[in-house]
Structure formats: C-alpha cells, structure tokens
Structure 1
Amino acid sequence: MLRIPGSTYRLQLHKDFTFDDAARIADYLHELGISHVYSSPYLQAAPGSMHGYDVVNHQKVNEELGGAEAHSRFCKKLGQAGLGQVLDIVPNHMSLGKENQFWWDVLENGTSSRYASFFDIDWQPQEERLRDKVLVPILGDQYGRVLQAGGIKVVRRGIKFQVECSEQSLPVSPPSLPVILGKAAEYAKSDTLSFLAASFGRLPAPEYVDRRTILARHRDKVVLFTLLQRLCAEEPEILVAMDRSMAELNENLDALDDFLNQQNYRLAYWKTADQQLSYRRFFDVNTLIGLRVEREYVFEETHALLLDWLKRGVLDGLRVDHPDGLRDPMEYFKRLRERAPDAWVIGEKILEPGEFLREGWPIQGTSGYDFLNVAAGVLVAPEGLMELSSIYSGFTEQPTDFHAIAHEKKINVSQEALGSDVNRLTSIFVEICEANRDRRDYTRAEVRRAIREVAACFSIYRTYVVPEREEITEEDREYITQATECAKENRQDIDAGLFDFLRDVLTMEVKGKLESEFLMRFQQFTGPVMAKGVEDTAFYCFNRLTGMNEVGSDPGRNGLSIEEFHSYCGKMQETHPLTMTTLSTHDTKRSDDVRARLAVLSEIPAKFGEAIRRWSRMNNAFRVRKPWGDPLPDRNTEYFFYQTLIGAWPLPMDRAKAYMTKAVREAKQQTTWVANNKEFEDALNLFIEFTYSYAPFQRELQQFVERILEAGRVNSLAQTLLKYTAPGVPDLYQGTELWDLSLVDPDNRRPVDYALRQRLLEELKLMTGDDAPAKVLAKADEGLPKMWTIHKALQLRRERPGSFGAEADYVPLMVDGTKHDHVIAYLRGEDVVTVVPRLTLKLGGAWKDTSVTLPEGRWRNRLTRENIEGGEVGVKELLKDFPVALLAREDVGGKADA
C-alpha cells in the first residue's frame, strides 16, 4: 500500500543545520500540521556542501550532518513526533574530488578502473590527444605556463604518489611508477624495489568491458602496493631514495611533462572545459559528472542504502532530482518502483506550459513547479501585463519578445557553456552521415550548427523516445517535427535536408546503433540547453514582470484565466492526484511572497510605470558616466533593480548587492561569472549604495510598497490556500509559514528563526474565540495570517484526508455577479470548499452582487469559525472577516472545529 504524505516540510540540511538541529523542530512541525519532513539530499556530499547535491558516496550518511548516529537520532525523533520522512535523491550525477573513491579510481586506472563504466565518459573523443584520458580542467592558466612556474608537482603520501596543482590532488597511474621507483631502486641498490617497479609497469590495460581482467589487475595492483609497503617498513632508506627520485623528477620539466602525459587524465586550463570536456556533466558544472545509472549494477550500487531505508520504513518516499538528465527516465522509475512498490515517488520534472507529466511513468507526480506557475498565472491581470510590455519596452528600449530572447540565449549557451556536449553529438552525427552516401557531404560545421538550432527550437525540456523498445509517442513526434521545422525557418542558410535527416533520426525513421546513441544523448542535451539558456539566462534578461520568471514558466504569456486554472486542477485530479504542490523551493528565483507582491503590479501598470520613470530621474545622477558608452548601470538592470526592491522590501543593502551581482552575471549582458566586468559591477554597487542613502527615493519606495502591501499579502494567502486544497500533496519550504521575502539561492537558504515560529504557533493556538481572525490580522506584520491559514488548512487535511485524496472530486463552483472574475471557488470531495479572491487592488473591496453557490448543507469557515448555510452566499459576506475562506461541511460526519 502506498505511503502517501498528507503534507511535507522541506528542510535544507548542511553543516550549520544538522540532523540534531532538525530533530529539535520535529514537535513544532507536527503541531503545525505537517505529516512528513522532506529532507535535502543527505548521503555523503563534498566537504562544505550547503545543499547535498554533490554526492561523493552513496553508501554513507553525510558526516557533516552528524553521520549515521545523528541520522538515527533524527529518524527516531521523527517517529516519536508522529512524522514520516521523504528524501531528495540524486541519481544523475556525482561530485568529483578525492572524496569520491569511484572517481579517484578512474583517474588512477583510466579505462582499466573498476568504475570506468559507472560514469558517462567518452574515452574515444574526436581529439586523439584525449583518447583514453579524462580532461581535468583545473589549472588557472595554460598548462605549460603553470608547469614552468612550478605549479604542478608530484608528492609522496605514504607509499603512494600524487600530482598536486591548483590546490587539488590527483592519483598517479600505477604503470607510470617505474619512472620514480626505477631510479629509486638504483639509488637504494634494491633488487626488490627494481622488481616492484617493473611489475607496476607490466600491469595490463584492459578496457572497462573486460570485467574479469580488470578485477585481476586490481588484485595484482593491491598486492604490489602491499609488498612496497612492507619493503619500506623493513628498509626505511627506500623512502629516502623514492623522495630523491621524486625531487629530481619535479626539477626536470621535460621529464615531469612526460610523466604527466603518462597519466589517465590531461591537466588543462579551466577555460577548456566548455569545448573539450570528455564527460557528461550536470548542466555546465564541471565538478558534477554524469552517472550511467541505466546500468543495473550502477543502480544497485548507488541505491542500496536508499532502498534499505525504504524497505525498513525509515523513508516513506523519494523526490528524484533532475530525472531528465537520465538516459531513460521511464526505465529508471520502473526499476525504482519494482524495488520500492509502496514508496511515494515524485520527480523534479520541469513541465513547460501546456505540457503534462507522462501518464505511463510509475510515479505520483512532479515536485510542483507546474502548480506554482499556474497559481502565479491566475493571480495576474492579463490586460495589465500587456500594458507592462509597453512600459518595459519604453523604459529599456530593449527587445521584449521573450521567445526570441530565449531562443538567442539557448543558442549562445550551446555555443559556449555546453560546447563540449555539442561537439560530442556532432562527432556521432558526422559518423552517421559518413555511413549514408546521400548525407556524407554535410560538413562538421554544418552539423554542429544544425544540432544547436534544433535544440534551441525545442519548446520543452526533452522527449522520451527509446529505440531499444521502439517507443515513441505522437506527442514526442510532434515536438521533434515542430523543432526541426522551426530550425529550417531560422537557418535557411543550412540545407533543409540536414534538418529532415535529423528529424528522421530523432523519430527513429532512420535506425542503427549510432543513430540510437545520438538520439539518446540528444534527449539528455536539450534539458541543459533549456535550463541554462532560459532559466539561468533569459529569465534575467526579460524583465517585464520578474515575478513571472520562474522555473517552467513562460513569462511572455499574459497570465491564466480562472477557467484555465480549473482545467489544470481537474486534469491533475484525474491523472496525478498525489503530485506535489509547492510555491517556494530551494531553487525558485523568488519566494512565493515576493511573487505575490509583484503580481499586484499587473493591476496598476500605469502607476508602476510613472513611479519607475520618476525614480530613474531621481537616481540618474548616481549612474556612472564615462567619456564613451552609455551610463552604468544600463536601463534593463535598473528596471530589474526597482522590481527587486518592490518585491522584497525591506531588503538590506548587503542582500541587494549580492543578489544583483548574481542576477547581472546570470543575464550575461554586461558581465558574466567567467568574465567579470569590474567596471560595470563597481558602477552597479555604487548605484545601489547611493539609492539606499538617498532619502527622497527611499521615502517614495516605502510609500509605493505600502500602497500594494495588503494586496500582495492577500495574493499570498490566496495562493497558499490554493496550494493546500488543490489536487496534490502540499509542500512547505522551510520558514515560509510566515511572510518570507527571499530571493534566489543562497538568499533563500539563510537560517530560519524557529524559536520565533514556535512562539507564534503557540499564540495562534490560544486564539480560539470569535475574535480570533481579528487578532490574527492585527499581527499581520509578523506573518500570523499566513501561519493561521496554513495551520488551519493542515488541520483540516489531517482530519479529512479523504477530501483531498486520489478519489476526491475537484469541482469548480458557480460564481455569479459583476465581479465574478475576481473569485476562485471549488469543492473538494463532498465537504471542503475553497474560496479565494484575485486582483483585489483593482477590486477595491467593491464586491457588489458577486456570490458563490455552495452545495446544500451546513458549512463552517475554519478560518473565521462562522457558520454558513449552503446555497447562494455573497462573497463580500464570506470574506468580511478574513481575506480567504476555507469551508468544511458539518452535516456529513465531519468534526466541528475545536
């Protein structure tokens, strides 16, 4: 039987918030109404990890969180508090470094490593100098310059040798040891050492597919090191001779260069990674290498501890990070489901507008970005967004076609950050063309450009065609055809036949071993293009209304209608009723409360436009002017800055500076992460400092925020109640049970004041009289209305789980009257009704004759304790004491509110 959470609470665990820290808030979470803690990854991660996605050991609990003992205490405390547990896991990649023993073994032994097949490495790339080697791009300058400057040295650690450079250590290949040990044997006059040196040199070099020989080689290598250890213990002068030989090697640059060339890796300047990297990464992060988890033995090795926890009931569910990075997500989820049939499993699948999770996947749903964007979209005014387009265009004098901007950024990222991925795909496709006489004359340059263009034309993260199973849906066929036709239109300088051929390979019209390999890798490539090109670049360039720029969104759209919201919820109840619903995550660009406040700008576009034009004139003197070029910062950055201040005010200057620096580097228009434009960044920081110290601007900003503050809070309460009552399992990101005005990470990972939250919850529990709503609203500045809404909704979910489960209906309710378009109302099951307002600033409280028709019966508003008879009820009356309404039917066996 599936172990379905009633609700989850996301915790970000790291060295400053450990298992013991999390255990201390378990009782508070249960009192709030949470059923399950949802933890960030906590298998052993790289040292100092603040997020846990850089796993180095799947068989061990992270020592920085307290290790296995603290984990046991944590799990025991959750059980005592009546809480279950869901864990975030990372099947797609691992972190590099010496802590990752799999990777260390690969660097030491190359294709002969026991773990060479664990990682997605191209051992035979186009460049011959990288054959059977792994590129390690960690040097701060060209290899020769670093070598000449003494930046690369061989050092001894016990009886083993390592290469040290750029504050990192790498192992030495055993067959290269005769260079050091042979000379040391001469100095020590040791026949035994001479024999060991020759034996290391004679170790075989089997390919990773020859498992038996690899294991025999490993055995022999261990024996040789054991004998060397014994020899050094018996004859200490051997170590002295080894050190002398090593010192001579380090002093002879030619000999050292030759020795380094014998290693299974090639040291390189860090800038080479984008074009020459020979392994698949997580997006463009060089230190996160792709795993071949589709191989069953890799799955078993990396999931053994997780599956044991699921089997023993330590975990009730898993959130699978970035399944689109996997070679075959469906196969992965099927294997996981077979091994954990009762687990609640969700995938961090990013769905674009109009796209839905594949119904054949044996999981409960997504991590909730689709809901987040639907909830945001229904709270903005379409006509206001259209007016904001004109205001944005006029203020910045920049292009405002989001889709054109996104396409350009996707092309750019595939040329630069993802260049090595394109090169790998190009090499495979050139081979495919070479084997086809009708296609062999396409040049490598043409193929490369065509691959980039088709990838940029995809409107979704990826397709899921599987040649091995002859599996392709009409949906995927349509996406592929649409992308190739778009590419043809955009690149008429390229032979249209090449795009047709690409389409035929991607839709399995043309089949073969290479064709299948290209297809599977291309599908893993389009996701990073979308993520890096759109979410991490275009979202910081197109700033019409920044609150709409969220993972999986289309900020160029003009919002959603109430009918579209109901349609989405009806679809989810029908197909994935147990999916996760969320409003803030560790990866959202802005918190739910920032987005809720910014949504109000769509209701007052003219006033917003007037304000920022006036502020720009007020602050114009603070822009840096040079004899050449435009003043700094540019207008687009300034427009973005004003929205940031409005959405997150009060925002301390240090947080504003850090966030704006990240934003402009992500935008890559004036400065980037890899090439900082110091002049621009200094000018931006000066601009921020001056605007913070300029009293007239600060006064106007404060007044503007005060005018929209209440409407923003109502939006927050509306989307919060939608999250807790719409189809799905609601997730609460740490600390957001109160107003939270956080921006993108690391801003949203600041410490949470749980003592404050525990105190406020105790206050709420004492508010039991009819005047409770008034008391709650009186403490609005402390965030009590949000906590009140969450607490009451969670209590109701705990009390009536059937009203929110897989079998519960979702039925839109009839809203009539002049302002019907300002109300979202629906029934869950037979006994729970949600009523929330939208566009309240435009409404101005003038509900007039607007009413909602409730099913017959006696109802009680759990947020106000008011009793209501079914039938037609005025919205003004319904919302008079609290901005949103949560009604529970009291005459169908339901329990009265305490």
Structure 2
Amino acid sequence: MTQPTQPTPPSSTYRVQLRPEFGFADTAALADYLADLGVGALYTSPILAAAPGSTHGYDVVDPTKANPELGGEQGRVAMTARMRAAGLSVVVDIVPNHMSVEVPTANPWWWDVLTHGPSSRYARHFDIESFPVLIPVLGSADDELELDGEVLRYHEHTFPIAPGTGDGTAAEVHERQHYRVVDWRRASAELNYRRFFDITTLAAVRVEDPEVFEATHGEVLRWVADGDVVGLRVDHPDGLTDPAGYARRLAERSGAWIVLEKILEADERLPDWPVAGTTGYDALREVCGVFVDPAGAGPITALAQELGVATDFDAVRTECRRLITSTSLATEVRRIAACAPGDPREAVAELMVHFPVYRSYLPEGVDHWRAAVDAATKASPHLAADIAAIDEQVRDNPAGELALRLQQTSGMVVAKGTEDTAFYRYTRFAALTEVGGAPERFGVPVAEFHAAQARREETAPAAMTALSTHDTKRSEDVRARLAVLSEIPDEWATEVRDWTASHGLPEPTLNLLAWQTLVGAWPIDADRLVDYLRKAAREAKVATTWTEQDPAFEAAIAEWPSRVLGDDALMARVRAFVDRITPAGWSNALGQKLLQLAGPGVPDVYQGTELWDLSLVDPDNRRPVDFAERRELLARISGGWVPPVDASGAAKLHVVRTVLRLRRERPELFTGYRPIEAGDHVVAFERNGLIAVASRLPMTDVERGIDLDTAWTDVLTGRPFYGVLTDYPVALLVRGD
C-alpha cells in the first residue's frame, strides 16, 4: 500500500488553551503577537462543540460543529483568517476516542441512544457492550428518579423517556427505558460501555467503523480541505481499537501534518505509520533529563529511603497497576476476561500489569506482547495456564476481540497505574516523574541525548517536540529548578530533614513531594499549594483517594501550606535556599529551551512558557496568561533590547523569539545533526550552518565553551562568539560575522 506523502510541517507551533472565557476572538487577537514571536502555527485545544462550560474541550458533545461557547463557526472562520493574514497556519487538537455524556441533553447522539436503545441510528457509534446502558450517577442505591413530563430527572441530571413508555410512576417508567440510572459506585465493576480511562462521563466511540469515522471527522476534514487547518494533533490513539488503521485513514482523508499523543517508553519506537510522529513527550524526557546530574542519584535516593519513601520504581509501578486493575478499571478487566474461556480475570489483569509499553500493536508489536506474557508468568506462576491460554488465543487471532480489547485497555492500565498513581508515590526526585518519563533512570547522559536527537532527525524530523503541555505534572521551568537539586543533594537533604522535623506531613511520599513542590514552584500561595497537594494525594491513593477521602488526612493537607508559609523562621530558610538555586534554575531553563527549539523536530511552545512559568499539574497550568506583559517585553526585544537573565523572564522570551524567527526565516539551517564534544558542563550540537550551545550543571564554577575553527556570530547577542559562554548560559551561533 502506498503511504501518503507527509505535507510540509509548520516551522513551530504555539499551544493555546481555549475556553468560554478565552474563545476564538481572543485567540485571533494574538495573531500579531505570535507572528512577532516567530511562531509558524497556532495550535489549539479541541474546538468542536463540548460539554457546557468546558475549560479544555476534550469532552466533545457534537463533532459536527465548532464550539458555540468559543464563538461558533463564524468565530472560527474569523480566527483562521486573522492567523492566515499574519502568516500563521492552524493546527487543531482532535479527540477520536470518546465523547462526553455527562449532560445527555447536550449530546444529541447519546440522547438518541438513551431514547431508542439498540434501534438508535447512533447505537453502533458508541462502544456499548449491552443494553440497558448503566448510568452511574446516583448517590446511593436508594435514591430515586423523578418523573417530570417527558423526562426523568435526578438533581441536575435529565434523561429521556422512550416513546410510549411514560405512563406510571417514575420507578415504573425507569424500568421500561434502554438505560438504568444506578449508584455511581457500580461503575468500576459493572459499567457496560467503554469509556476514557475510568471517566464514566466520557463514552468511547467506535471510530474504527468507517461510518463513525466520517460522522466524527467530517467537520474537521472540511476545515482541512478548505485550507483553514494544516495539521491535526490526535488525542489518545492508544484507546482506539485499531490505531494503525485509524492513522492510515486519517492520513488518506486529510493529507494534513499529523502528530499522535503517543507516550513512548524510553527505548520504544513509534510503529511505521503515515504520521509525522508523536507530540513530543519523548523529547521532553531527553531534553530535561540531560540537565540532571547523575552524581546526585545516591544521596537523593538515600534521603528518600531515610524518610520512608519507596525507591524501587518497578515495585511501586507494579503495585499501582495491580491496584488499578482491581479497582477503577475492574469493569474493563471483566469485559476482556469474558472474551476468553473460563473468565480468567486475574490472568488478564496480570498481563496488563506487566506490559513493557503502553500497548502492543499486534502483529507488529508481538515482541512487546511476548514480554508481557513472560513477565506475567514469572511474577504469577499459579496463573501460568490461564496466561498461556490467553496468549494462544491472542496469537491465533490478533484481530479478534480478546486481542483488541487487551491492547486498547493496556494503555489505560499503564497510564492510570504509572502516570496517575506511581508518579505520585515515587517521589524520590519529582523532576523525573513526568509524562513520558523514566524516573528509574536518574537523568539522561549526554551521549544518550545526542543519540536520541540524531535518531529523531533521521526517522521523524517532522515530529512535534515539547517541554510543557496541558498534561505535564509540572512546567518545564519547575523541572529546570528541581534539576539543580541533583547537583547539591547533600545540602538539599539537610534542609528537607530539618523542615520535615518541624513541619512534616504525616505521609512520607507526599511530604517529600510537598517540599520539592514548594521549592520548585516558589513563589506559590497557600491556595495553589493546597489544591496541588490534595490532587497529588488523591492520585497517589495512599492515605486518601478521589472516591474514598480521609477527612483527617485531607484536613492535614489543607492546613499545611498556611502553617509552613506562616512560620517566618522556616520561610527565611526556604527563601534563602530558593534564592541560592534560582539562577542555576534559570540557566537550566534557558538551556533546555534552546536545545528543544533548535533541535530536530517541530518545537511547540505551551501558552505562556515563553516567560518563566512555574505552573503545576492541571488545572494550575491552564490559568489565564498575561499576554499584555508578554507583548510589552516582546516589543522591547524587537526594538533591539538584549535583556539580562533575571526574574522578568525576558531572557527566555528573547531565546524563544530568536530561535523561532530563525526557524521560520531560514529553515535550511535546521537540518542535519552532529554532536559537539564539549565536556560535562556543556551540551552542544551543530546543524546545517548553525550551532546550539547550552550550559549544563550550572552550580559548578567552571569556564564553559566549545572549540571553533571558523568565525561564528551569536545571534542572541549579535556579537562574534569566541568559544566561551559569557553573556548568557546559552548561545545560538551562525556562520560568519
């Protein structure tokens, strides 16, 4: 089969999070700013009609129209026109895996399914196992619905009544429907429709069906055909029944630049699909990791052990994945086991616990499947017979329901078990517990970094790269500051021991995470800190959870920030420590930004991160951006100002603007890749007439530079570069005077 030719990618992208308070018109007003910044394409969060009041857009309710709450079709067209006039193209985030069913009245397809059941024209659009569909929203099994004319109600929830079934009491009418409204606690074990992870309000759609594909993608494909959209970012392809087939169909139908939100393990490669590559979490691990000092691993691990924090990542990850298969994703395990003889739930769970990657793509990913089978058998020999039977059925029929369900569910188990649980329990060094990260590896050696960039240039030069996204656990600049701790681990350990002795949280993993968060995100107020720590604790599922909260423990979390911030003596030490590491954190932040922007791939800048950004996990990283401040600083830089490296963050803005404009105006410079050997304290590479140089391990006072054999100019300063970093901890060099 001939694969479609990949279109020309944008020179760079700038991600904007749209929401009802910041819609198409507000985004359109950024066109001149983004153009001056050097951006190649506006990259939007999902903009199809979403659940009422949606702040992110991933809860689509109607894929046939632009979101009215953002300004509707008229607003979308106007925004696109403004971008085009400023020389920018548009990339759109799309959500093929699921739709929101939280508000049935807002989703016409789901309303029709609830009304007409299996005879609904949309019944096969959703991945429904059986009817009646369970709707888990009741506070308890004893709660009752109310009959209100042509609908049934439960508090704010409204449900349809099938034609001719509305006579009698509410309970009698309910029994005649194609759905059952039940206790919310039944969802984890009994739900009979596939969902997005464990979120019951996001029902999966069967996009592998050509009719469903056209119905869910028709409007977006029209935007592409009209020239309004040049690129598509695909959310959560691992949840699809057939990601490879989906990628081929989308490429054939769109002809767009396509990147997939695919999380790759450290040594994993994207299958040979007709897409440009991933959205860049692999690059994030490489770029941020190279600024971590491997010499800090021993003392930092010792501190965690001393405080009672688990340091065997494999054991923590396995424990967390097992927890997920037996609780929040138990219904998915049940459904898979029903496809195999004997209902082998425990064996199914154990297989998914031991997947070495998010999912295998049979038959091409058979090695990953074999690894899961071998690891599960070794870990649980008493399940060997069931595992072998499952293995045989999967290999005999890799396109069968058992194989497909196992594959599309393994990614859910890995994501919920690793990203959303283990990463909040394994708090040894929070800079590494990031989406796409490998926290068991203490950073990325320089040689590994170079090898990864050379491989990207060779195999996926049009893939996206990123340092911050709407899903990262903490921003790039928080990670850059935390990386400094790896250089002074003994000093860090002394502080944490003393701080914990006087103001420690009662649960060790959260306690260590809390001090790293305070230092990494400082200055931070009590409200932001409470919100973050509460979410972190519930995700970790050690002392409290989202579904079973411990009031006493959550009260301790709620009062901890005020207690800490209100202790003047303690805060004097915290501020002094932060002041000591902040300049080194700025150095790391500029270095990793330069390496990302100048390196192979299509770099994305997440909204607001062109200045220092010390955001934490969502919703903290979706706060409004002060674009007025950024415009003012950018105007000064455009006028020739070369800003100092200081608290304003203008130096970072200068680096971003300089590289992005150069990428847009001289793309030929950004081809090829050759590592430059420069010792332990510099990371440098050469491309086609361009060299990027970044300081590394900034707490060590040594001269940093590279050997040059011809004349080069640092475009950040406009002056000749003589081999040594002086004005900035980074340099971007072009040949000549």
**Number of equivalences:** 730
- Equivalent of 1:486 in 347, 371, 375: 375
The corresponding residue for 1:824 is 683
- Equivalent of 2:237 in 313, 316, 323: 323
Q: In the TM superposition, what are the counterparts of 1:383-532 in structure 2 within 5 Å?
A: 383-395=295-307, 397-430=308-341, 443-444=342-343, 447-465=344-362, 472-473=363-364, 476-494=365-383, 496-506=384-394, 508=395, 510-511=396-397, 516-532=400-416
The corresponding residue for 2:560 is 687
Q: Which stretches of structure 1, 4 residues or more, deviate above 6 A after TM superposition? A: none
Q: Which residue type is aligned with residue 581 of structure 1?
A: T
The corresponding residue for 2:609 is 736
SS of equivalent to 1:330: helix
Q: Aligned-pair distance for 1:357?
A: 1.2
Measured against aligned partners, the alpha-carbon deviations of 1:49-82 in whole angstroms (never above 9, x if no partner) come to 0000000111111111111121122111111211
The corresponding residue for 2:269 is 356
The corresponding residue for 2:181 is 267
Greater Cα shift, 693-702 or 676-685: 676-685
Measured against aligned partners, the alpha-carbon deviations of 1:316-347 in whole angstroms (never above 9, x if no partner) come to 11000011111111111111111122x11100
Q: Is the 8 A contact 1:659 1:743 kept in 2?
A: yes
The corresponding residue for 1:216 is none
Q: In the TM superposition, what are the counterparts of 1:560-639 in structure 2 within 5 Å?
A: 560-619=444-503, 633-639=506-512
SS of equivalent to 1:20: helix
Measured against aligned partners, the alpha-carbon deviations of 1:116-149 in whole angstroms (never above 9, x if no partner) come to 11010102xxxxxxxx31001111110xx213xx
Q: Which residue type is aligned with residue 136 of structure 1?
A: I
Q: Aligned-pair distance for 1:4?
A: 1.4
Q: Is the 8 A contact 1:826 1:835 kept in 2?
A: yes
Q: Which residue type is aligned with residue 174 of structure 1?
A: P
The corresponding residue for 1:365 is 277
Q: Aligned-pair distance for 1:499?
A: 1.7
CA distance in 2, matches of 1:29, 1:852: 33
CA distance in 2, matches of 1:448, 1:59: 39
The corresponding residue for 1:793 is 659
Q: Aligned-pair distance for 1:491?
A: 1.2
CA distance in 2, matches of 1:478, 1:86: 34
Report the TM-score, using the length of structure 2 for normalisation: 0.97
2:38 matched to 1:33?
yes
Q: Is the 8 A contact 2:682 2:705 kept in 1?
A: no
Q: Is the 8 A contact 1:813 1:827 kept in 2?
A: yes
Q: Is the 8 A contact 1:84 1:316 kept in 2?
A: yes
Q: Which residue type is aligned with residue 573 of structure 1?
A: E
Q: Aligned-pair distance for 1:633?
A: 2.5
The corresponding residue for 2:3 is none
SS of equivalent to 2:180: strand
Q: 1:166 to 1:420 in 2, by over 3 A?
A: farther
Q: In the TM superposition, what are the counterparts of 1:56-205 in structure 2 within 5 Å?
A: 56-96=61-101, 97-123=104-130, 132-142=131-141, 145-147=142-144, 152-156=145-149, 161-177=150-166, 180=167
CA distance in 1, matches of 2:373, 2:441: 23
Q: Aligned-pair distance for 1:166?
A: 3.4
The corresponding residue for 2:28 is 23
CA distance in 2, matches of 1:105, 1:493: 47
CA distance in 1, matches of 2:393, 2:729: 55
The corresponding residue for 2:225 is 311
Q: Aligned-pair distance for 1:561?
A: 0.8
The corresponding residue for 1:242 is none
Measured against aligned partners, the alpha-carbon deviations of 1:130-179 in whole angstroms (never above 9, x if no partner) come to xx31001111110xx213xxxx11212xxxx11111321111122424xx
Q: Which residue type is aligned with residue 488 of structure 1?
A: T
The corresponding residue for 1:549 is 433
Q: Aligned-pair distance for 1:463?
A: 0.7
SS of equivalent to 1:657: helix
Q: Is the 8 A contact 1:3 1:316 kept in 2?
A: no
The corresponding residue for 1:867 is 720
2:691 matched to 1:833?
yes
CA distance in 1, matches of 2:605, 2:132: 45
> Identical aligned pairs, as a percentage?
42
Q: In the TM superposition, what are the counterparts of 1:2-21 in structure 2 within 5 Å?
A: 2-21=7-26
RMSD over equivalenced CA pairs, Å: 1.4
Q: Aligned-pair distance for 1:113?
A: 0.6
Larger radius of gyration: 1
SS of equivalent to 1:164: strand
CA distance in 1, matches of 2:209, 2:425: 40
CA distance in 2, matches of 1:457, 1:501: 17
SS of equivalent to 1:690: helix
Q: Aligned-pair distance for 1:589?
A: 0.3
CA distance in 1, matches of 2:729, 2:298: 27
Which one has a larger percent helix, Structure 1 or Structure 2?
1
The corresponding residue for 2:649 is 783
2:592 matched to 1:703?
no
SS of equivalent to 2:233: strand
The corresponding residue for 1:749 is 622
Q: Is the 8 A contact 1:140 1:166 kept in 2?
A: no
List gaps (5 residues or longer) in structure 2.
1-5
Measured against aligned partners, the alpha-carbon deviations of 1:530-562 in whole angstroms (never above 9, x if no partner) come to 111110111111101111111111111121111
Q: Which residue type is aligned with residue 21 of structure 2?
A: D
Q: Is the 8 A contact 2:304 2:310 kept in 1?
A: no
Q: Is the 8 A contact 1:138 1:166 kept in 2?
A: no
Q: Which residue type is aligned with residue 570 of structure 2?
A: F
SS of equivalent to 1:777: coil
SS of equivalent to 1:98: helix
2:706 matched to 1:852?
yes
Q: Is the 8 A contact 1:37 1:83 kept in 2?
A: yes
SS of equivalent to 1:335: helix
SS of equivalent to 1:116: coil
Q: Is the 8 A contact 1:813 1:853 kept in 2?
A: no
Q: Aligned-pair distance for 1:851?
A: 5.0
Q: Is the 8 A contact 1:366 1:580 kept in 2?
A: yes
Q: Is the 8 A contact 2:397 2:403 kept in 1?
A: no
Q: Which residue type is aligned with residue 163 of structure 2?
A: P
CA distance in 1, matches of 2:9, 2:511: 46
CA distance in 1, matches of 2:173, 2:22: 45
CA distance in 1, matches of 2:720, 2:294: 35
Measured against aligned partners, the alpha-carbon deviations of 1:785-835 in whole angstroms (never above 9, x if no partner) come to 10011111112112211222xxx21111233xxxx1121111112x11011
Q: Aligned-pair distance for 1:42?
A: 0.5
